Structure 1
Amino acid sequence: MIHHSHGYTWSGQAAELYRPLQPRRPNDPGFVTSPLPPVHRTDWFYKVPALVADTSASSEQALAWMDHIWAPYQERVRYPARIDWPDRRQAALRALTGGRDAHWEEYLVDGGYVIVQVLCCPHRVASHPCPLFPREAGPGACAGFGRGSASVTAPRGGATTIPRTAPPAPYPTSRPPSTPR
Structure 2
Amino acid sequence: MAKPPVIEDAQMRHAFKVAAATGQTPARDVALLHVLYGTGMMANEVAQLEVADVLDERGEFRRQSAVRAAISFNGRARPVFWVNQKVRDALSAYFEERLRLGHGVTAWRSQWRGLVQLGPVFLTNDGRPFTLTARRTAAGSTSRSCESLTQVIANCTTRPA
Normalised to the residue count of structure 1, the TM-score between the two structures is 0.25
Larger radius of gyration: 1
Q: 1 or 2, which has the higher helix percentage?
A: 2
Q: TM-score, normalised by structure 2?
A: 0.27
Structure 1 or 2: larger strand share? 1
